[in-house]
Structure 1
Amino acid sequence: MVVLAVSSAVVASFGWACGSMMAHTPVRTVGVFEFTRIQLLTSGGILCALCTALGYWQSVVWTQWPAFALSVIVSVIIGNLAMMECLRRAGPRKTELLLSLKTPIVAALAFLFLGETLSLGELGGIGIALFGICLAILFGSSGQDEASVSRRDLLLIVVLGVIAAASQGVGFLVLKPVLSAGTEPLAASAVRIMGAAFVVSLAGLMPLKAVRPIAEMNWLLLLRVIVPGFIGYGISVSLLLYAYAHYDAAVATVLGSLSPVFVLPLLWLRTGNMPHPLAWAGALLSLSGAAVILL
């Protein structure tokens, strides 16, 4: 069970790395709100169909609805809107760096509210992995893949990144008791995504410029929005929830935060620029930290 939980978190990281790379251009084209709305509606619909086909709805502990509601509002809506805006303004590298902050946030909250404690070995492994992740992000590219950032925008980007990291961490953590009560991770993911899709769709009815698409949609652009959405919301989220259900929250979070490591070869393939040796050193440190955690 531990091996499956660890593998799920690592594969979730790979999924988010792919989704981040695929989402950078379309989110700048269609706008953050419309991008998020389309992804939530399509991913939620696919997840609901899968849960119906697999008979997972009966596993949902509906008495835990406050946890679902909190996860929807904090994680899926606030967290993802902040993340997408950060991604649009700063690019995938800076966004991933700021999102890595959710690991210490989750560790602290899991200790305070769930009573989870970590061994010295696990703490050391988390520290090594986080240091490696930061190295992989900071030296992961020459910066040609990033959006240009002015000094004035830097503070806003940091604020957006911290909000996204804290919101995502809290949104996953509040579902751990729900998962422990027997709710299937895929069903939990479907409930939170459909709840978020409903709220975002209602918000889209408001006569505000911020919720209007900034580009005309076509089938190719729609596909480029849907695919990274399902990879992130449908596959990676469900896998990480499985890891949360069967392993410590802090460990699952750090293993689910390895996407900057997987981004390195993807950036290399896309740009043709070899990442800095320190970036590869960071990748090795991250994997070493993961190994220390599992020993």
Structure 2
Amino acid sequence: MLLGALAATSASFGWATGMMLAHAPARRLGAFEFTRIQLLSSGFTMGLITALLGYWPSVTWGEWPAFLVSILFGVILGNLAMIECLRRCGPQETELVISLKAPLVALMAFLWLGETLALQDIVGGAIVLAGIGLAVTAGANRTKRARGKHIVAALFFGGIAAVSQGVGFLALKPAMLAGSEPIALSAIRLLGAALLISLAALWPDSTANANAVLTPTLLVRTIIPGLIGYGISTSLLLYAFAHTEAGIAAVLGSLSPILILPIAWIAEGRRPSHQAFFGALLSVLGCAIMVLW
């Protein structure tokens, strides 16, 4: 339980870091091209790591329908929607809506796998999500009209991303319980998604073209957050899903909006407001209730 909770929290930190690094290159390249580059580079890297560690024999290939569901929904649809939300609304608003994945995953785990959460886990998860909401909505200074447009876009694209990513992670839990290594499953997800999105890129459609010239610097700035998010963080969260209840793993894996606050403070000098600090404290309290009670 404790290792699973630590893995999910570490995944949140990785996604928060990757989200900050990804914002600028995602806006320049567009959602499709940005996602395609990240999937190709991350898929190759994770496949190589899986081979070097000797994890390919652990894969239960009889679960291939679950792999396909995870690739199509969790990676392709989920990440295209997330990147589009990131481009339109920014990293903090995106993470706020994506955090809705936690209660959705808990509900799906109950209906799909029969998992139930204890009362303290439900209370702790609710406190965490309340803290996330307070932290992310603190200090918004947009006009009502601009904020309204951003809210609609965030709810639409972020909602699609939250549901799709939740389905993608949850679909793989039976395979992990059967012995498949999380790193190997991450490689399968990424390689499968890279193949599909590369085939889609051959379609003569302007939406698949980059919005900017791909320079070496822009390429590196695109690959690095992909390795952090798709490679490291996804493997950590899959490990958490395998070793603890899906609802708890999803809540602790949704702390990116909280963890992005100190990162933004250090990187951009944006000091969090008192409301944001209070929201962060609430989230810490909720995590303590879930893990230690």
Asked whether the two chains share a fold, i.e. TM above 0.5, the reply is yes
The aligned runs of 1:48-127 (5 Å cut-off) are: 48-127=47-126
- For 1:157 and 1:122, the matched residues in 2 are separated by 27
Deviation of the 1:143 alpha carbon: 5.0
Deviation of the 1:174 alpha carbon: 0.7
Deviation of the 1:149 alpha carbon: 3.9
Partner residue of 2:136? 137
Partner residue of 1:254? 251
Letter in 1 for 2:68: A
Deviation of the 1:278 alpha carbon: 1.1
- For 2:171 and 2:146, the matched residues in 1 are separated by 34
In structure 2, the residue corresponding to 1:273 is in which secondary structure? coil
Deviates more, 1:149-158 or 1:48-57: 149-158
Of the three residues 218, 240, 250, the one matched with 1:221 is 218
Distance 1:115 1:191, change over 3 A: same
Deviation of the 1:269 alpha carbon: 2.1
Partner residue of 1:206? 203
Cα-Cα RMSD: 1.4
Residues 93 and 137 in structure 1, CA contact (< 8 A), matched pair in contact too = yes
- For 1:124 and 1:155, the matched residues in 2 are separated by 29
Partner residue of 1:22? 21
Residues 89 and 153 in structure 2, CA contact (< 8 A), matched pair in contact too = no
Partner residue of 2:37? 38
- For 1:149 and 1:163, the matched residues in 2 are separated by 21
Distance 1:155 1:129, change over 3 A: same
Percent identical among aligned pairs is: 52
Residues 142 and 275 in structure 1, CA contact (< 8 A), matched pair in contact too = no
Distance 1:255 1:153, change over 3 A: closer
- For 2:140 and 2:56, the matched residues in 1 are separated by 47
Letter in 1 for 2:8: A
Deviates more, 1:270-279 or 1:176-185: 270-279
Residues 89 and 149 in structure 1, CA contact (< 8 A), matched pair in contact too = no
In structure 1, the residue corresponding to 2:254 is in which secondary structure? coil
Of the three residues 260, 263, 266, the one matched with 1:263 is 260
Distance 1:143 1:25, change over 3 A: farther
Deviation of the 1:272 alpha carbon: 1.9
- For 2:152 and 2:238, the matched residues in 1 are separated by 31
Deviation of the 1:31 alpha carbon: 1.2
In structure 2, the residue corresponding to 1:118 is in which secondary structure? coil
**TM-score (ref. length: structure 1):** 0.95
In structure 1, the residue corresponding to 2:217 is in which secondary structure? helix
Deviation of the 1:150 alpha carbon: 6.1
Residues 179 and 245 in structure 1, CA contact (< 8 A), matched pair in contact too = yes
**TM-score (ref. length: structure 2):** 0.96
- For 1:188 and 1:82, the matched residues in 2 are separated by 22
Deviation of the 1:155 alpha carbon: 2.3
Residues 133 and 258 in structure 1, CA contact (< 8 A), matched pair in contact too = yes
Partner residue of 2:7? 8
- For 1:185 and 1:176, the matched residues in 2 are separated by 10
- For 2:195 and 2:146, the matched residues in 1 are separated by 33
- For 1:22 and 1:32, the matched residues in 2 are separated by 15
Deviation of the 1:138 alpha carbon: 1.0
- For 1:119 and 1:150, the matched residues in 2 are separated by 37
Residues 106 and 170 in structure 1, CA contact (< 8 A), matched pair in contact too = yes
Letter in 2 for 1:221: L
- For 1:72 and 1:235, the matched residues in 2 are separated by 17
How many residues get paired? Answer: 290
- Please list the CA deviations of residues 222-274 of structure 1 after superposition, one character each: whole Å capped at 9, or x if unmatched: 00000000000000000000000000000000001111111111121233232
Residues 24 and 87 in structure 1, CA contact (< 8 A), matched pair in contact too = yes
